[in-house]
Amino acid sequence: MEYIVCKEVKMKLKADYHIHSTYSKHNHGKSSIEEIVERAYEIGLEEIAITDHGPAHYLFGIKRSLIGEAKNIVVEMRKKYPNLKILYGVEANLLDYNGTTDIESEILKHCDIILCGFHLAAAYTTAGDYWNFIVKNRLAKNNEKLYKEMVEKNTQAVVNAMNRYNINILTHPGDKIPLNIDKIAQTAEKTNTLLEINNSHGHLNKDEIKIAAKYNVQFVINSDSHIKDNVGSCDNALKAAMEAGIDLKRIINLKS
Ligand SMILES: [Zn+2]
Ligand SMILES: [Zn+2]
């Protein structure tokens, strides 16, 4: 069965690179890696990535000690489903304004793909980072001057991370904290980072896609699914891309 993502333009989704399994702890991910793989195979995807939250996400992050175990399951699944390309990865967390993340060498050795994004429940490096990321960004919602200041500060943090690490996909840019998407896209062009149009979080949104599209960047649409039935669900993300009017060939995981 071919999974047709959009009948009007006859584009099909060939890959979903952002999927959480039960290794995203505290019941955050509801389906096992095997269930996800079965579902992806069933709907005709060619490629998927299992990308649980990085260990510094204190609520939902994968336990460091279980990364090897999860990878081994992926290796087993590759044998069982040779026609499906299965990548193992992580959705890392931005931890401070210097751009530090939880992308560590212990994790890197298991990963084929690195996603990174900003999350609220991350173990930030210092109390000052918590103050800025959480408290000041909240205060900035009602203070225009502070808002502008925080947009630039947040953006610099993400830019620093993109320059420091080899991030394949920047997840849901603009979600949870405001960012200057123009500067993010400018950096993504240099660092060759894919910008995600996330189906679950509404970012990049239509306007942000338009801004990013001015640069020589590529996009990826991902489900960010936490249960097997949502694997490959990208309707909202595709709608945003179409409304933004970008050439859909710039979305690397669509095929005609
Ligand atoms: Zn995320
Ligand atoms: Zn996610």
Average pLDDT over residues 232-253: 96
Q: Please tell me the distance between residue 181's alpha carbon and the centre of ligand 2 in angstroms.
A: 19
pLDDT at 11: 82
Task: For residue 43, report the distance from its CA to the centre of ligand 1, in Å.
Answer: 24
Q: Which of 122, 208, 107, 217 is nearest to 165 (CA)?
A: 107
With a pLDDT cut of 90, the percent of the chain lying above it is 93
Residue 7 has pLDDT above 80, yes or no: no
What's the pLDDT tens digit per position in 14-29?
999 999 999 999 989 9
Query: How much is the pLDDT for 101?
Result: 98
Whole-number average pLDDT of the chain: 95
Q: So what's the pLDDT on residue 209?
A: 98
- Compute, in angstroms, the gap from residue 6 CA to the centroid of ligand 2: 23
| 158-183 pLDDT tens trace | 999 999 999 999 999 999 999 999 99
* Tens digits of residue pLDDT in 79-97: 999 999 999 999 999 999 9
The Cα–Cα gap between 195 and 94 comes to 16
According to the model, what pLDDT value does residue 64 have?
A: 95
So what's the pLDDT on residue 244? 97
| pLDDT above 70 (res 208) | yes
Q: State the Cα–Cα distance between residues 129 and 218, nearest whole angstrom.
A: 30
234 Cα to the center of ligand 1, angstroms: 15
Q: Which amino acid is at 181?
A: I
The rounded Å distance from CA 157 to ligand 1 centre is 16
| pLDDT reported for residue 256 | 84
Give the ligand with the smallest distance to the CA of 230: 2
pLDDT above 80 (res 225): yes
What is the separation, in whole angstroms, between the first and last Cα of the chain? 15
pLDDT of residue 9: 66
Centroid of ligand 2 to alpha carbon of 202 (angstroms): 12
pLDDT at 3 over 60: no
E strand segments, 191-239:
194-198, 219-222
Report which bound ligand comes closest to the CA of 116.
Answer: 1
The pLDDT value given to residue 2? 46
pLDDT at site 1? 38
Report whether pLDDT(10) > 90. Answer: no
Domain architecture of the chain: domains with CATH: 4-255 (3.20.20.140)
pLDDT band at 234 (very low <50, low <70, confident <90, very high): very high
Supply the pTM of this predicted model: 0.96
Q: How far apart are CA 32 and CA 23, in angstroms?
A: 8
